[in-house]
Chain A
Amino acid sequence: MVTVPRPSDLSLVDVGKTFGRHKVLRHVDLEIPAGSFVALMGANGAGKTTLLRLVAGLATPTTGAVTLAGVDLRKAGPGLRRMLGFVSHDGLLYGDLTGRQNLMFHARLFGVADPEARIEELADVLDLRRVLDRPAGVLSRGNKQRLTLARALMHGPDVLLLDEPFTGLDEESSARLVQLLTALHAEGRTIIMTVHEMSRALEGPTRLIVIGEGGIAVDEPIEALADLEVDEREDVLVGVVSDHVSRAGHGGRGPISRPDLPERPSLDEPHLAALTARPALVVPPGRFRSAGMITAKDMRVELRSRDVLMSSGLFAVTVLITASFTTVQSGNTGSMATGILWISLLFAVLLGVGRSMARESQDRAIEGLLLSPAPRESIFLGKLAAGLVTMGLIEVFIVPMFLVLMTGESQGSLDVGGLILAVVLATIGITIVATLFSGIAVGSRMGESLLPLIVMPVVIPLMIAAVETTRQALGGDTAGSVNMFQWYALLAGFDLVVGLAAIATFSFVVEDS
């Protein structure tokens, strides 16, 4: 008989995960039927978070496969990604955006039909009203944790993954969270959460999995713990492979006695119902709409912080002013001047795009994007467009300043159209390479400082073409037999070929980030 997987049946088959020489998980086989409530325990570094990240699709198994509803998560489409909600140990939030802006961004990416109403519901239940309009970066640990919960619950996921969700929460908030999770479980949602304290594992979950020595050390119904003494439970807690549970698990001495919990404020029924109900969803935004949302988010972050505009813009201005002292004094305002212009613009792009990607790695915010149904290429396109808009704003000041300071008497023969075309094509090319490689630089030990080392050699042909086209647009001689069209063709060809390659490869840069 063929068993058809239910919509949120989870399955891990022979899953292994290795980081360098360290094998965190080996040959893990798990079946988690839809509607399960699992507590995941184990010693520090046992692999609990890695297991959750594998199930969330944020990490790729080194061996084996993780499937949701029978579909390998590596091939998860937008529909499957909307079934998952993940509360990470990191917030996956943008610190420069307010709580409301963060939630709105995620609601739109997930295709929530009425984001405003859903945010209000979540704010009420999770007691977020007071902090909703403050930047996420300044919130206390507890408030940030509640905001993270709201983000994960925004689209009403079928499978909710929580990595130490009680961290930073006070007793009242913890009690509300237990009530909420229990209600979600009663609604048939699958919940998997990592916890450190056994008491938390006893407050709602129906199944306990303990990870030890890279595998499943214990996998038993919570009821099986009823017969254990406190010290025996502690053995299980620290991930010691113990046969206590299997010995005692089916002793028939009745159901588990839940710990006596203190009286805690509870959520009222309407609130709880509103939260556990699945919000109406529309078709998630496609490639270009998602990219537009990511661009708008980046611009909102930039308008609030202004650090890219300030650092990149001021850098370019400083280079031009400093260089103009030497070029104007020496009377050399030709190729050298255009070279200086392009060096200043190249470094402005590197500073700006590097900073933008570094923001994504803060609080692992980019993982919020990877969890969303947005196609991976839309992340690249969104970041690229944001980089281009930022550079456009900088160039609006820098290029006229260059003309005034460094071109002298050649301004009369200026080909404005040619200059604009050169600036646009070369900026696109540089920003494409910088956007793609910034993900690599941020993921390396050197961080953003690796970016110039890997970007600059790739864009040197582009820089040569940019200098030539700019020089010719300023009325310079045509060098040799090479005409303007060939230089522009080189710029456009580079943009097209490298752009397509970047779109095709970007997902490999940001996966498993």
Chain B
Amino acid sequence: MSIESKPAARTGAPVVTDGTAAAHKTRVSPLAIVVLVMLAVFAYFAFVFAPEDELQGAMQRIFYIHVPSAWICFVGFGVTFLSSIAYLSSRKEKWDTIAASSAEIGTLFTTVVLATGMMWGHAIWGVYWTWEPRLTSFLVLWLMYLGYLAVRAYVPDPARRARFSAVIGIIAFIDVPIIYLSVNWWRTLHPQQVIITGDGPHMPGAMVIALMVGLTTFSLVYVYLMRLRLDVARLATQLEEIES
């Protein structure tokens, strides 16, 4: 007897076979193909289509990774926040799984934001790190969600873990508006908002298009990673049920 993993991931129920023809075919999902194509398109727009910045040169192109990554942080932690509320209201396990998966992806992209921000900062400001409020706030956000993941690691009972992490997911997200407002409250070295301003974007049209392609691509990457993560969570639950 063996358990064929592929159908289990798709249908949510393990399929038991006689084990003689347990072929494990790896099928690439249509979403994965779309994501791959979009990544290639994004690379073209970010590195070829968009014009080079006169002052910052080629280094400015990191902007097309930095900003979409920041966008995914907000999406990821926003989904965690909403799913946390949904979990506490309904106590349905799926909301906890969605919250935790989104927090993991959000933390991953916060790491990308910090890394690309440091590289960009070194090229433009001459230092890898400056205690500029928005960078600092992203660092705080990163630390908070590491705390969220730590709580999940140190509370063994699933129901209690879900409640505790939902509370942290809600409180941590309250810091997100502070990050956004910090641009206006603490005007310092960091570039000010250039896309959403009262009198339209302060960027060449080609740069805006490249950024929009980046935002779309990274959003698709988020959706794809979420799907993968939720599949893994579902399989883990099935495995636990089989083992118990």
Determine if B144 and A461 form an interchain contact, defined as CB atoms under 8 angstroms apart: no
Q: How far is B159's CA from A443's CA once the two chains are assembled, in angstroms?
A: 12
Q: How far is B91's CA from A60's CA once the two chains are assembled, in angstroms?
A: 11
Interface centre among B155, B163, B243 (most CB of A within 10 A): B163
Determine if B159 and A480 form an interchain contact, defined as CB atoms under 8 angstroms apart: no
Chain A residues, Cβ within 8 Å of B168:
437, 440, 454
What is the interface size of chain B, counting residues whose CB is below 8 A from a CB of the partner? 37
Determine if A21 and B174 form an interchain contact, defined as CB atoms under 8 angstroms apart: no
B157 within 8 A of A: yes
What's the dominant secondary structure at chain B's contact region?
helix
- A454 to nearest B CB, angstroms? 4
Chain A residues, Cβ within 8 Å of B172:
458
A22 within 8 A of B: yes
- Which of these, A62, A486, A497, A508, contacts B166 with CB under 8 Å? A508
Q: A445-B154, A453-B150 known; A440 and B167 CB under 8 Å?
A: yes
Inter-chain CB contacts under 8 Å: number: 98
Q: A20-B157, A480-B186, A509-B167 known; A454 and B150 CB under 8 Å?
A: yes
Q: How far is B143's CA from A98's CA once the two chains are assembled, in angstroms?
A: 43
B8 within 8 A of A: no
- Which of these, B136, B148, B154, B164, contacts A509 with CB under 8 Å? B164
Proximity string of chain B (145-163) to chain A, C-beta cutoff 8 Å, 1 when within and 0 when not:
0111011001111111001
Determine if A444 and B154 form an interchain contact, defined as CB atoms under 8 angstroms apart: yes
Q: How far is B165's CA from A437's CA once the two chains are assembled, in angstroms?
A: 10
A13 within 8 A of B: no
Q: How far is B59's CA from A512's CA once the two chains are assembled, in angstroms?
A: 53
Interface centre among A437, A450, A458, A501 (most CB of B within 10 A): A458
Q: How far is B118's CA from A333's CA once the two chains are assembled, in angstroms?
A: 30
B88 within 8 A of A: yes
A residues 8-46 in Cβ contact with B at 8 Å? 18-23
Determine if A505 and B187 form an interchain contact, defined as CB atoms under 8 angstroms apart: no
- A467 to nearest B CB, angstroms? 12
Interface centre among A21, A436, A508, A509 (most CB of B within 10 A): A508
Chain B residues, Cβ within 8 Å of A443:
155, 160, 164
Determine if B159 and A461 form an interchain contact, defined as CB atoms under 8 angstroms apart: no
Determine if A481 and B187 form an interchain contact, defined as CB atoms under 8 angstroms apart: yes
Q: How far is B158's CA from A21's CA once the two chains are assembled, in angstroms?
A: 9
Q: How far is B142's CA from A488's CA once the two chains are assembled, in angstroms?
A: 25
- Which of these, B136, B146, B159, B174, contacts A501 with CB under 8 Å? B174
A residues 385-443 in Cβ contact with B at 8 Å? 433, 436-437, 440, 443
- Which of these, B144, B159, B243, contacts A62 with CB under 8 Å? B159
B108 within 8 A of A: no
- B68 to nearest A CB, angstroms? 24
Chain B residues, Cβ within 8 Å of A60:
91, 159
A498 within 8 A of B: yes
B244 within 8 A of A: yes
Proximity string of chain B (125-137) to chain A, C-beta cutoff 8 Å, 1 when within and 0 when not:
0000000000011
Determine if A505 and B171 form an interchain contact, defined as CB atoms under 8 angstroms apart: yes
Residue of B nearest to A482 (CB): B186
- B174 to nearest A CB, angstroms? 6
Determine if A501 and B140 form an interchain contact, defined as CB atoms under 8 angstroms apart: no
Chain A residues, Cβ within 8 Å of B157:
19-20
B residues 168-189 in Cβ contact with A at 8 Å? 168, 170-172, 174-175, 178, 185-188
A69 within 8 A of B: no
Determine if A450 and B186 form an interchain contact, defined as CB atoms under 8 angstroms apart: no
Chain A residues, Cβ within 8 Å of B146:
457
A277 within 8 A of B: no
Q: How far is B4's CA from A59's CA once the two chains are assembled, in angstroms?
A: 38
- Which of these, A450, A454, A457, A505, contacts B88 with CB under 8 Å? A505
B240 within 8 A of A: yes
Interface centre among A443, A445, A490, A502 (most CB of B within 10 A): A443
Q: How far is B156's CA from A23's CA once the two chains are assembled, in angstroms?
A: 15
- A200 to nearest B CB, angstroms? 31
Q: How far is B171's CA from A457's CA once the two chains are assembled, in angstroms?
A: 11
B residues 41-100 in Cβ contact with A at 8 Å? 88, 91
A446 within 8 A of B: yes
- B241 to nearest A CB, angstroms? 8
Q: How far is B91's CA from A511's CA once the two chains are assembled, in angstroms?
A: 13
- B6 to nearest A CB, angstroms? 25
Could you list which residues of chain B lie within 8 angstroms of chain A, going by C-beta atoms? 88, 91, 136-137, 140, 143-144, 146-148, 150-151, 154-160, 163-164, 166-168, 170-172, 174-175, 178, 185-188, 240, 243-244
**18 other A-B residue contacts (CB within 8 Å) besides A19-B157, A62-B159, A505-B171:** A21-B243, A436-B167, A440-B167, A443-B164, A444-B154, A445-B155, A450-B154, A454-B148, A458-B144, A480-B187, A486-B185, A490-B185, A502-B171, A505-B88, A505-B170, A509-B167, A511-B163, A512-B159
Could you list which residues of chain A lie within 8 angstroms of chain B, going by C-beta atoms? 18-23, 60, 62, 433, 436-437, 440, 443-446, 450, 453-454, 456-458, 460-461, 464, 480-482, 486, 490, 494, 497-498, 501-502, 505, 508-509, 511-512
Give me 18 A-to-B residue pairs in the complex whose CB atoms sit less than 8 angstroms apart, sorted by A's number: A20-B156, A20-B158, A62-B159, A444-B155, A445-B156, A454-B150, A454-B151, A458-B140, A464-B136, A501-B171, A501-B174, A505-B166, A505-B171, A508-B88, A508-B167, A509-B167, A512-B159, A512-B163
